[in-house]
């Protein structure tokens, strides 16, 4: 495997990553309510660094308390957070792994605002209620937009001061940037709405502000939903951005100073196409009650989840967009197990056609997310010019050491991810981990031991609390 493209370094403008496998952003409620970090998060990121990924893109890291998805996520909204993120970076660096901090803001997609946001409508590009959960919001004023731009710039400054390797702007999957970019959501009539150029202005202003704050030599990438499919669940919603529009946004972002593009899909999260796979009603019925007070459509959703006779209605709405997808770019016909081959064909690499279109239009590396776990498939995606590297979340939760297994010559891990999505459906209420019991030989205790292992690190770990100063 000496010449394996998966394990050749990926060179960005200001960063070199040892291989082409990135741990994609995946969020667990590991931290303190106020957004200060814990040893559990350090242990969580260490799992993947130890497993051999080239870089870790952190979970959603809010640049403002007003922009959190839910409590118990470590934030980067103040200088006091710098020492904690330095500690995370130092641990990850022990494994020759890079750490890229995902700077984020929920906008209206705020699942659980927390007590600090009680009584406050979420900030967004629009005042239109989010249609899936019915999350309330208010359109940002120009002053609030300018303040938020600076919050992102300050977050980048803190990431650099923490000694991290770069930042990612989460501008896909229905969060704040996506709410500005998408024609299906943004209904503004000022300079931040209307034309594609205006809708892209917020993202481009943030990129330029970050470059002014931290300089040109700090890695900056952004995640984008190549196609919104904004009407995927609620048919009367506008469809949102097309691939052609996203290609243009990527070209503008490169000109503004972005070093890489991270390609995803969908203008909400979760979305039928992200994470693609199963929707388990048994799990969501147990966890969705945590969100019942969050929006004016959550009770409707809970009823659809809770009562089996109504499940087919939701399944129809949830799965119909999958029938609109073009055939996969290619598939793993060489997998002997019929069931796994079917799962891989349905779920692996379904964003590759979009990432290839973007890669052909820009001069910066392109990363692609989407259910990757098969070595031969990843090699073909890179060799054939669909992307420069892949980002993986659920499949690395199932197998933290997936890169090492592929490097040993395996085409699939010993116990592949089944795309059940129980990990993500549990995370609203429970610790993040693999909840597919069949992967643990139906041993519930063994499954819980693995899920809870993240809490068993060095609780006495200390870190330097001195806040440094950045000179650009």
Which is catalytic among the residues 175, 229, 386, 435? 175
Phi/psi class of residue 405: alpha, beta or left (left: φ > 0; alpha: ψ in -120 to 50)?
Answer: alpha
Residue 313 neighbours by CB distance under 10 Å: 11
Q: What's the distance, CA 464 to chain centroid?
A: 29
Residue 26: closest CA among 52, 3, 2, 47:
47
- Given CA atoms 71, 75, 81, 84 in this order, what sign does their dihedral have? positive
CA atoms within 13 A on the CB side of 415: 12
Which residues make beta-bridge pairs with 167? 101, 220
3-state secondary structure 294-359: CCCCHHHHHHHHHCHHHHHHHHHHHHHHHHHCCCCCCCCCCCCCHHHHHHHHHHCCCCHHHHHHHH
Element (H, E) at 62: strand 61-62
SS3 234: coil
Pairwise CA distance, residues 386 & 341, whole Å: 21
Taking CA atoms, 276 is separated from 205, 319, 383, in Å, by 32, 10, 24
307 is catalytic: no
Pairing of strands 55-57, 219-225: unpaired
Residue 379 neighbours by CB distance under 10 Å: 16
Pairwise CA distance, residues 445 & 443, whole Å: 6
Q: State the catalytic residues.
A: 175
């Amino acid at each position: 495997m000496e010449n394996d493209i998966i394990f050749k370094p990926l060179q960005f403008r200001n960063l070199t990553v040892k291989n082409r496998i990135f741990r994609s952003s995946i969020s667990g409620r590991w931290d303190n309510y106020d957004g200060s970090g814990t040893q559990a998060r350090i242990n969580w990121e260490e799992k993947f660094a130890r497993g051999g990924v080239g870089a870790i893109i952190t979970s959603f890291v809010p640049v403002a308390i007003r922009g959190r998805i839910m409590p118990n996520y470590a934030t980067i909204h103040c200088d006091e957070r710098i020492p904690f993120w330095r500690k995370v970076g130092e641990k990850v660096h022990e494994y020759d792994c890079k750490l890229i901090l995902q700077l984020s803001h929920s906008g209206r997609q705020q699942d659980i605002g927390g007590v600090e946001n009680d009584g406050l409508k979420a900030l967004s590009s629009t005042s239109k209620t989010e249609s899936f959960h019915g999350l309330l919001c208010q359109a940002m004023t120009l002053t609030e937009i300018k303040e938020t731009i600076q919050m992102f710039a300050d977050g980048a400054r803190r990431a650099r001061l923490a000694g991290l390797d770069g930042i990612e702007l989460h501008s896909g999957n229905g969060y704040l940037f996506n709410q500005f970019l998408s024609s299906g959501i943004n209904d503004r009539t000022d300079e931040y709405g209307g034309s594609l150029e205006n809708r892209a202005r917020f993202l481009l202003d943030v990129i330029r502000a970050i470059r002014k704050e931290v300089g040109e030599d700090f890695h900056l990438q952004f995640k984008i939903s190549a196609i919104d499919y904004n009407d995927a669940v609620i048919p009367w919603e506008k469809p949102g951005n097309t691939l052609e529009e996203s290609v243009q946004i990527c070209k503008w972002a490169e000109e503004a100073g972005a070093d890489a593009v991270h390609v995803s899909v969908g203008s909400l999260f979760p979305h039928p196409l992200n994470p693609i796979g199963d929707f388990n009603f048994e799990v969501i019925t147990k966890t969705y009650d945590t969100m019942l007070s969050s929006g004016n459509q959550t009770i409707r959703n809970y009823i659809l989840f809770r009562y089996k006779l109504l499940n087919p209605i939701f399944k129809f709405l949830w799965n119909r967009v999958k029938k609109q997808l073009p055939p996969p770019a290619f598939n793993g016909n060489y997998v002997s197990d019929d069931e796994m081959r079917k799962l891989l064909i349905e779920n692996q690499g379904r964003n590759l056609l979009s990432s290839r279109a973007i890669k052909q239009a820009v001069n910066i590396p392109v990363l692609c997310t989407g259910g990757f776990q098969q070595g031969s498939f990843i090699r073909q995606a890179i060799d054939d010019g669909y992307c420069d590297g892949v980002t993986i979340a659920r499949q690395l939760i199932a197998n933290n050491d997936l890169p090492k297994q592929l490097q040993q010559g395996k085409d699939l891990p010993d116990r592949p991810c089944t795309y059940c999505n129980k990990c993500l459906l549990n995370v609203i209420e429970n610790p993040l981990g693999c909840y597919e019991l069949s992967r643990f030989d139906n041993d519930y205790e063994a499954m819980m031991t693995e899920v809870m292992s993240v809490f068993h690190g060095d609780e006495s770990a200390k870190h330097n609390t001195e806040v440094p100063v950045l000179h650009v």
